[in-house]
Amino acid sequence: MRIVIALGGNALLKRGEPMTAEVQRRNIRVAAEAIAPVTREHQVVITHGNGPQVGLLALQGAAYRPEEAYPLDVLGAETEGMIGYMLEQELGNILPFEVPFATLLTMVEVDGDDPGFKNPTKFVGPVYEKADADRLAAEKDWVFKQDGEKWRRVVPSPMPKRIFEIRPVKWLLEKGTIVICAGGGGIPTMYKPGKERLLTGVEAVIDKDFCSELLARELEADLFIMATDAQAVFTDWGKPEQKAIHRANPETISSYPFPAGSMGPKVEAACHFARSTGKVAAIGALADIEAIVRGERGTIVSSSFSGMTWH
């Protein structure tokens, strides 16, 4: 089978952990140990989150030369390279030497008319006091929204339209390569209007689950897995009556409400993949990847199922 595995942010950095290279490498080693057995039997493409890493680079750049802070598309490219390097090395320490790896910096086109540009919602960077947020908004034309008692910058989160490197990914897969790409939702880019089609970076963050779903669809993947820190998708999460969903068709599971900031995009991406391809999508814990591939663990979404069953 051809499988796309999207690693959630917890695979790289757990909440409350220091953002050091050592901590990230340790977490990536755990991810590699979970994924390696799957690569022995299937074609595998790996995507990943990069939110904390982009935030750290932005803070470092602002501390050095605030007036020359790197834009989000450049920071996204930097983190794709860093995280891909660690994943390649840790997988290479487990798998036979002959297994080839490749990390591709992945540009993803977005539409300048996407509604996401009219209402920025994606929090990025550190928190500020209201006065500092107002000053930065005036100086840099940034948009801020309240996040708890503080204020944080928000940027657009447009839908992914096209993955530019999709052909090289396919070529590498045909040669038996384990490919790491589209990290953090890819590097957001768009064409400037005008006679000459000039591609340029965008101050935006593409949702990594939606981008991974597009990647899985364009690669004609047989299985699309979103690995997270939850064993499955739960209804009534956090309540005494919570239940873990095992199997569901897209229509049934999408009728339930899920938080927009966590499980909501994953369920939406899984349903879109299952509906549009007739293939299977799954959401579950990183440690359960092998069992998810066998259909034994996690939440499995397929149009071939009727209704919903529970773990």
Which residues have a catalytic role annotated?
A: 9-10, 122, 208, 266
- Give me the residues paired with residue 227 across strands: 7, 284
Q: Are 139 and 185 in contact (CB under 8 A)?
A: no
Specify the 3-state DSSP secondary structure of 168: helix
| Helical ranges in 175-296 per DSSP H | 208-218, 250-253, 263-277, 289-293
- The C-alpha angle 268, 169, 106, rounded to 5 degrees, equals 65
**CA-derived radius of gyration, the chain:** 19
Helices (H) and strands (E) in the chain, counts: 9, 17
If phi > 0 it is left, if psi is from -120 to 50 it is alpha, else beta; for residue 233 that is: beta
For the chain, give the number of residues.
311
Report the alpha-carbon distance of residue 102 to residue 100 in Å, rounded. Answer: 7
Three-state secondary structure readout of 57-97: HHHHHHHHCHHHCCCHHHHHHHHHHHHHHHHHHHHHCCCCC
Report the alpha-carbon distance of residue 63 to residue 59 in Å, rounded. Answer: 6
Among 229, 226, 230, 224, smallest CA distance to 277 is for 224
